[in-house]
Structure 1
Amino acid sequence: CKGNSGVVSIAVFGGYFSMKGLISVGVVSAFIVYAKQFSRPINEIAQIYGQLQTAVAGAERVFAVLDEETEDKNGGMLETDEKAAVTFQNVCFAYEPGTPVIRDFTLAVPNGRKVALVGATGSGKTTIVNLLMRFYDIESGEIRINGQDISDVSRESLRRNIAIVLQDTVLFSDTVRNNLKYGNDSAAEDQLTAAVEMSQCRDMIWLLPQGYDTVLTGSGANISQGQRQLLAIARAFVANPKILILDEATSNVDTRTEKAIQDAMHSIMQGRTSIVIAHRLSTIRDSDLIVVMERGEIAERGSHEELLAKKGRYYELYMTQYAGFAT
């Protein structure tokens, strides 16, 4: 409307003056053409300015990534053999100096055991996983695997022994087969089949146009969020890691599929060191140890039955979910 206000004004007043005989219709028409020609370059400059602003903002993000320091790839090999006991000793960490997120965190995850981390949003559960994966380095304390300090281990060696399934699934614009084999390039066909069976996504893959050879476009945009999560779980199974991390891995599947996945997870977790982050407490009732976190510290720890008997923070969380108590 603003761009055509001048033309409208010329038409209105020109029409009035033409009716009065002061000017001709040709003069009005000429003024309208002149007005459009005058405003066109101004409009084009405004559009170019907007494009320049968008380009500058994009360039800032690109250069911010380019200016990031490269991860330190130095370090030795992680010696795991068949065991993978994880120990957190007096770990402290802050994303911003002076604002600690993890405070004096001490926890032992025995080899082959399943430990669950629960707590309110922002309590530091995912941060603990990020520190174990060395996405961030701790400020103080130690994280050890089989007694070996992970700060002395290369990130590549560390992450080759850990599989993680996140709440936000990441898939690649490639075939289903290559997505499944991402963590284990040498996986045989029978391993893929077993992983797909265990993760309850066999029927889903069969229904795809080319099955395992179906190309996932736009990082999996041609399948549902729940199906993407099933593939991510199957990918973790194919990797056959020493340590398995599940960060609310069943958040985008229905209740029936969740039960089937829980059964599959119970099978694959047997004899494997596992750390599970969950908001739905039904997924971690069978854990060997449940750790309740609050403001970066351990508020409670114990089995499901022990924590319910204490009637503390875990009891409140449980009753909130299953008894309808107000938070």
Structure 2
Amino acid sequence: MKIMIVTDAWEPQVNGVVRTLTQTRLELSRMGHQVHLLTPLEFRTIPCPTYPEIRLSLFPKRGVAARIESVAPDALHIATEGPLGMAARAYALRHGLPFTTAYHTRFPEYIRARIGLPLSWTYRFLRWFHGPAVAVMVPTRLVKQDLEAFGFPAAQVVLWSRGVDLDLFKPGPLLPHEEKPPVFLCVGRVSIEKNVEAFLKLDLPGTKWVAGTGPLLDDLKKRYPAARFTGVLDQPTLASLYNAADVFVFPSRTDTFGLVLLEAMACGCPVAAYPVTGPIDVLGGSDAGVMDENLRQACLSALNIPRERARAHAEKFSWRASTQTFLSHLKPIPAAPEPSGTAGPDIPRAW
């Protein structure tokens, strides 16, 4: 099957959306499907205001239409609500093509945190954008409940969980360091919605590490000189960082899932987090981490969790299972009718 995935989030961005789509494409290819990605790399772009790492495609309507027509996909998935997603949505509606969408990121909460825009305004936009989709894929049950509470039809919102590369993220060599133990690690975008400062403010023994980049990085470096900021790391180095840490701290209250939770646990690093969407769904009722509104207490309690327990919980998640779920939600695009007088056998598209 030829699958086209349209995404405004792509390399060189480093985030959960890009990681999810990268792994999904890899698994789909392994399963024998042709995957065509439509990304900002094919268009002239400008940096997103306040988020220069995110590139916004300029006037992509014609380019998006040409790519969809050249590929003639058997299924169309629109992963993001940006300029490319908008253009693909418009094309699909204009030509009567069924499509699926995904809700990866809590944009309403992020926008409210940054500029104070009411949640109702951005959720109204999301209902409009995703409304025509055959299915809206979300990572957790709590996110599904949230969208339903803001007016999404329950039957339209479907679950698409995530996975972790257990061969890459596994117990192994530690990143060499001379930091005072215990080491508490936070990985993610250094921005207001990730709530990194809540971690940096904690009164904890040992050392704090922050891996990632973002608009608040320079400011937090100046205000928290005792913390170690590593910047963005490649995945093998990141795995060694997880192995060197004693506790992985996840201070975000707005993530829809949190792939880094699985990566940390796959390396045997127990988790400390708030009891919110993301950690609740990933940790569930397991004892691979500690969730507490008192994040400091969660960090200290997580020090007592055996690393083998964290790894065992991560092994319940796989990208193959995640991709099979994604595939099951896709809607096949009906084949175009043959010109009059040339119709051949009625052969359905390969699925």
TM-score, normalization: structure 2? 0.26
Whose helix proportion is higher, 1 or 2? 1
Which structure has the higher relative contact order (CA within 8 Å, separation 6+)? 1
TM-score, normalization: structure 1? 0.28
